[in-house]
């Protein structure tokens, strides 16, 4: 099992004001010290569009100094992928949406135009650069509602053939997916695309079923999961959506089930507390709050 910590990207980008670069690096190091070995450390995007990610090169460089860490970044266009590779990045995530509405708002393209952009990226990435494809609104669109499973599978049809050794991530962007939907879609995707190298679930906890959806994906055979420390995050084009499922909630659940995550829960909790204290941070998660209340009651 692999947990991918996406807080320093999906989480930090939702925070205003700017988090100083040395503070970002310190938090990444704290996550690493707690046992996280895959961390999405930032986005290579326009600094005008997303000022929080203006220091992506510096953060990436610092993350590379941590032995055994597999850092990754998001780069939504060919231009930004080329910028990332120029900085030495060797693990890049691309993003597109099943929903036309969401893709137009997020990356200013129709979904099939994004597929064409991914094809161009595949053509230019150098040997050794790993690719990840984040399929947003795979289950639900904030504007149009339920996304048909066949629509998601049809988009995957166009993607998997371009780079079957990529990591394919199905994203519950709004947090409205239910466990049966998650289980069924992953089962169908794995059956339909046996050549796909790996699958990941990226869930939000807007409706309180984030961990249940993680477990549903696990039951379907998925073994890689995105999570965000303290549930930090959101999506500007998914109004009302909260952050990703909290890393500490996922670790607590799996470790309690005897499924080893490689993460030290006791060292993770103080990092979550630091995230909560960030100015402008909107956080979530349940385990941290429950433990804090329990400890307060014991101290009373």
Are the C-beta atoms of 246 and 230 separated by less than 8 Å?
A: yes
Angle at 191 between CA 187 and CA 197, to 5 degrees: 95
Radius of gyration of the chain (CA): 18
> Among residues 64, 141, 171, 235, which one is catalytic?
235
Sign for the CA dihedral angle at 285, 290, 296, 300 comes to: positive
Q: What are the percentages of helix, strand and coil residues in the chain, rounded to 5? A: 45, 20, 35
Angle at 133 between CA 130 and CA 134, to 5 degrees: 135
Tokens of residue 63, six digits: 């993350």
Q: In terms of DSSP bridges, do strands 198-203 and 224-227 run parallel, antiparallel, or are they unpaired? A: parallel
Q: How many CA atoms lie within 13 A of 191 on its CB side?
A: 7
Contact 221, 195 (CB under 8 A): no
235 catalytic residue (yes or no)? yes
C-alpha neighbours within 13 Å on the C-beta side of residue 181: 20
Residues involved in catalysis: 235
């Amino acid at each position: 099992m692999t947990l991918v910590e996406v807080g320093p990207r999906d989480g930090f980008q939702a925070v205003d004001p700017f988090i100083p670069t040395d503070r970002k690096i310190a938090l990444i190091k704290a996550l690493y010290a707690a046992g996280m070995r895959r961390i999405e450390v930032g986005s290579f995007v326009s600094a005008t569009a997303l000022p929080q990610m203006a220091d992506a090169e510096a953060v990436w460089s610092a993350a590379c100094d941590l032995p055994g860490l597999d850092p990754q970044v998001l780069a939504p266009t060919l231009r930004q992928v080329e910028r990332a590779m120029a900085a030495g990045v060797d693990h890049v995530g691309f993003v597109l949406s099943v929903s036309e509405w969401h893709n137009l708002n997020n990356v200013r393209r129709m979904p099939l135009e994004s597929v064409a952009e991914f094809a161009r990226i595949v053509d230019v990435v150098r040997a050794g650069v790993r690719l990840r494809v984040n399929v947003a609104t795979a289950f639900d669109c904030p504007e149009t509602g339920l996304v048909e499973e066949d629509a998601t599978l049809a988009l995957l049809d166009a993607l998997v053939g371009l780079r079957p050794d990529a990591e394919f991530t199905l994203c519950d962007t709004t947090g409205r997916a239910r466990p049966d939907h998650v289980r069924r879609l992953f089962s169908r995707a794995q059956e339909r695309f046996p050549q796909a190298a790996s699958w990941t679930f990226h869930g939000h906890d807007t409706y309180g079923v984030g961990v249940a959806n993680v477990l549903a994906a696990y039951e379907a055979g998925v073994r890689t999961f995105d999570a965000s420390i303290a549930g930090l995050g959101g999506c500007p084009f998914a109004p009302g959506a909260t952050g990703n499922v909290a890393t500490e909630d996922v670790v607590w659940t799996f470790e309690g089930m005897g499924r080893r995550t490689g993460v030290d829960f006791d060292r993770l909790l103080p990092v979550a507390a630091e995230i909560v204290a960030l100015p402008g941070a909107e956080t979530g998660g349940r385990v941290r709050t429950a433990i804090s209340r329990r400890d307060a009651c014991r101290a009373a």
